[in-house]
Amino acid sequence: MDPITHSLSGAILSRTGFYQRLGRIATIIFIIAAMIPDIDHFSLRLAGPLAYLKYHRGFTHSIIGSFVIAALMAGIAYSIKQVREKMGYLTVFALSILGIYTHIFLDLITSYGTQIFFPFSNKRYSLDLVFIIDFYFSAILLIPLIIMLFKKKWRRILAISSVVGIIIYLGIAHIERTIAIRNVKDEVQKLGIQSMRIEANPLPLSPFRWSVFVEDEKRFYQMNVDTLKNNSTFNSFEKKHVPAGLNHGIEGNNIIGKVENLEIVKTYLWFARFPVVTVKEEAEGYMVEYFDLRFNSLPPRRPFLLKVFVDRYGSLKHAELMFHTIK
């Protein structure tokens, strides 16, 4: 989720009883811990697109990595006199690990994918319940914090109410996601599509709006469903779109086959859940474009668009991973 929501979650968590017992230092520790796993976002962006795809939401978002980060964070905090006077090292460590796990949970409920068992497994887990920026979700955390400024005696009750509100909100999202998938399954049967897979990802601004993806042998289908209005929009995408005459390239090469042996493309296909590929001929070769439909929620914006430029023989010239491409 976004950094603001992560910081709000740390502040709310501290008010459930930790602030009352340990003071403002507990709140500071929780807020920092609830945000610190995203330190990989900045470092990996500098390291390049391949590193970013491979390792973002990896080590710093994993169960093992959390212990390492919490231990380091506790060591730094415990070196400060004011912290030592309030609590022991193990208490600081416990607060840190709890704050970090809160961050991991909030990332798991989105659709991006989190490698919680890294480095033992690079599988990306996601619950697909909440869009990465959800104003209602954030409001459930923010409004109680605002009320606390005027009703200090209600802090613990308001914080616990906020946690309960989040649980209820996620429960509603799960129910609505199930309804959206069921509605699309009915539609797919009517259309005679032989589905191999059906998944739903949240859309922004509402727990009732979903992008439902259907896969058959040659295509992906995207249906944007509003469960309150009981309507949907339907789009179809070829998995591999190669203009006539380019299936084997001018030099007799299978362009897509060549490109998919490249490390950057292998990594992208590991990262993507609904990848579509388009081949375009250029003066001195080809541009092969990969886009994960999971990010097709706010067109014409197309984040995580991969463009691979190769020569006539399929050798890599250069590649671009576009984080915020406008179509």
Cβ neighbours, 10 Å, residue 321:
20
Q: Please compute the mean of the pLDDT values over residues 68-73 and round it to a whole number.
A: 96
Decide if pLDDT at 141 tops 90.
yes
Note whether 184 and 198 are within 8 A (CB): yes
Residue with token string 């067109």: 299
pTM of the predicted protein model: 0.91
The span from the CA of 10 to the CA of 4, in Å, is 10
Q: How far apart are CA 133 and CA 296, in angstroms?
A: 15
Would you say residue 231 has pLDDT above 90?
Answer: no
Backbone angles phi, psi at 24, to 5 degrees: -65, -25
Longest dimension (CA), the chain: 76
| Residue among 108, 88, 71 nearest 22 (CA) | 88
Q: Is the pLDDT of residue 55 over 50?
A: yes
Tens digits of per-residue pLDDT, 158-175? 999 999 999 999 999 999
Answer whether residue 79 shows pLDDT above 80: yes
| Dihedral, 273, 276, 279, 280 alpha carbons, nearest 10 | -110
pLDDT of residue 128: 96
- β pairing state of 285-292 and 275-282: antiparallel
pLDDT at 54 over 50: yes
Confidence of residue 301 (pLDDT cuts 50, 70, 90): confident
Give tens-digit pLDDT for 17-39: 999 999 999 999 999 999 999 99
- Within 10 Å of residue 151's Cβ, how many Cβ atoms? 12
Say how far apart CA 291 and CA 278 lie, in whole Å: 9
- Give the residue extent of every domain in the chain: 3-127, 240-326
Distance, in Å, from the CA atom of 153 to the CA atom of 156, rounded to the nearest integer, reads 8
Instruction: Tell me what pLDDT residue 249 has.
Output: 52
Cβ(287)–Cβ(280) below 8 Å: yes
* Helix 155-191 with 3-14: angle, nearest 10 deg: 140
| Dist. CA 160–CA 166, nearest whole Å | 10
What pLDDT band is residue 327 in, cutting at 50, 70 and 90? very low
Tracing tokens 């491409």 back to the chain, one arrives at 325
322 contact partners, CB below 8 Å, separation of at least 6? 302, 303, 304, 305, 306, 307
Question: In three state form, how does the secondary structure of 81-129 look?
Answer: HHHHCCCCHHHHHHHHHHHHHHHHHHHHCCCCCECCCCCCCCCCECCCC
Q: Two tokens at 138?
A: 């954030």
Q: Provide, rounded to the nearest whole percent, the portion of the chain with pLDDT above 90.
A: 66
Q: Which residue from 217, 170, 218, 222 is spatially nearest to 200, judged by alpha carbons?
A: 222
Closest among 43, 41, 36 to 9, alpha carbons compared? 36
Residue 4's CB is within 10 A of a number of other CB atoms, namely 13
pLDDT for 252: 46
Q: Which of 55, 57, 41, 53 is nearest to 114 (CA)?
A: 57
pLDDT for 245? 64
**Which of 286, 289, 287, 268 has its CA nearest to residue 278?**
289
When the pLDDT of each residue in the chain is averaged and rounded to a whole number, the result is 90
What does the block give as tokens for 63? 């169960």
Neighbours of 238 (CB within 10 A): 12
